[in-house]
Amino acid sequence: MPPRRPPPTAPPPPEGPLTVDSVGGEGDGVIHLTDGRLLHVPGILPGEVVRLRAGREGPVLEAIESPSPDRRPPPCVYFGTCGGCALQHWDDAAALAWKVERLRSTLALERLEAEILPVVRTAPATRRRTALHARRGDNRRIARLGFKARRSWNLVEISDCIVLDPAITAALPGLRRLAAPFLEHPKSAPTLHVTSTGTGLDIDVTGVEARSGGLSADARMAAAEIAAELGIARLTLAGDSVFLQRRPVVQFGRARVEIPAGGFLQASAAAEAALVAEVGAAAAGARRIADLFCGAGAFTFPLAGIAPVLATDASAAAIGALTAAIATAPGLHGITAEVRDLFRRPVLASELRRIDFVVFDPPRAGATAQAAEIALSGVGRVAAVSCNPATFVRDARQLVDAGFRIERILPVDQFLWSPHLELTAIFSR
């Protein structure tokens, strides 16, 4: 057998001081070299003069000779090792201006223009859902718990997080114990998907080795006992019930909704409120509304206070939760809920004949097929909600080509200190 070749290594960075040109899409500083190469280096800012050294994965910051006036001390002790935040070293106002300019530039790629409203920025300690990775520790009864390092499988253990809801950070010591039974199989790499709800923490665990028989009855029992001791509302394993003490409930408009295990929820309640308020204002006066990619009803229930709503989503669990919650919100206009894969079977223009307002909130991949049907329909006003400006502008181009114009875009910064930006855009014919 021939000897294994060592993995290729990146060429070393040039010696001497280098000037940072810009910040790239992942939050790294970008340096343009004279030979045409681009260096992407975490932790550096535009205009800074820096020295780099070679690292295993690429160039590494060695020294900042001339710092940016927008540089600030990062507020988190894990910054620089944890992969969760990329921009804590950048002044908030400057980082937000960069996010908005990236949005404007993305619009320009499709020759689109729009009024961009002031950014709604959520506060620290308000993120109500997270994914915590667990690994074995020295004590078999206590797992190591935290986030992955940037561009790595290595785990950065945390004992606090300034982004997360205090209910989650307070639970971290107990969650280390809760994760331990899920490490029963040596190939398991559990991830605890933790959501803070109105009735307590809801936790769905994925990444447990299943081909060898899955979690044993003893490990399930141990996990259930720890969950009961910690006061966890619900514990599931890839959606399968392990322990239920209280049904995890969130408030959508007037409705109390039991969210499905592992189901989608906006990362911050404040961000959700801003998006719902903007969409609701655009829907005022509508006679019939369609909520496409509706999830468990974050927009459906507030909009049903305006007019009857057709709500569709591919998740049967989400539609089930939405349907069950209708009884908790008397006095709304009618809600018709349907399980439907809008990528394979979008709601057709002919089915939108009686609809005069549509909101669609697709995953990061966007909604090409559904946007095409909206463009062909007679709908007069549309709200597009997106966590990915790149796919948003692709879908927006279809609407604009069909005679819509973008009235305004509301950016929502709910992923603090990351390059990501949520938005909702209002269209009218």
Q: Where are the alpha helices (DSSP H) in 185-216?
A: none
Strand order in the sheet with 191-197: 155-157, 144-148, 129-135, 191-197, 200-206, 234-237, 240-244
Placement of tokens 């809920």 in the chain: 337
Structure tokens at 418: 């990351």
Q: Are strands 405-413 and 422-428 parallel, antiparallel or unpaired?
A: antiparallel
**Contact between 172 and 184 (Cβ < 8 Å):** no
The rounded Cα 159 to chain-centroid distance in angstroms is: 22
Alpha carbons within 13 angstroms on the beta-carbon side of residue 277 total 10
- 82 in catalytic set: no
Catalytic residue, chosen from 85, 161, 294, 387, is 387
Non-local (6+) Cβ contacts of 143 within 8 A are 134, 135, 136, 137, 176, 177, 179, 180, 182, 183, 190
**Angle subtended at Cα 96 by Cα 291 and Cα 250, rounded to the nearest 5 degrees:** 35
Phi, psi of 134 (to 5 degrees): -115, 140
E strand or H helix that includes residue 427:
strand 422-428
Q: What is the CA radius of gyration of the chain?
A: 24
- Point out which residues pair with 41 in neighbouring strands: 29
Nearest to 39 by CA among 237, 300, 57, 285: 57
Q: Give the span between the Cα atoms of 384 and 395, in whole angstroms.
A: 9
Q: Give the span between the Cα atoms of 84 and 327, in whole angstroms.
A: 39
Q: Give the span between the Cα atoms of 252 and 273, in whole angstroms.
A: 9
Query: Exposed/middle/buried for 178, CB within 10 Å: 0-12, 13-18, 19+?
Result: buried
Concatenated DSSP letters of 113-174: --EEPPPEEPPTT-B-EEEEEEE--SSTTS-EEEEEBTTSS-EEE-S--SSB-HHHHHHHHH
Enumerate the active-site residues: 387
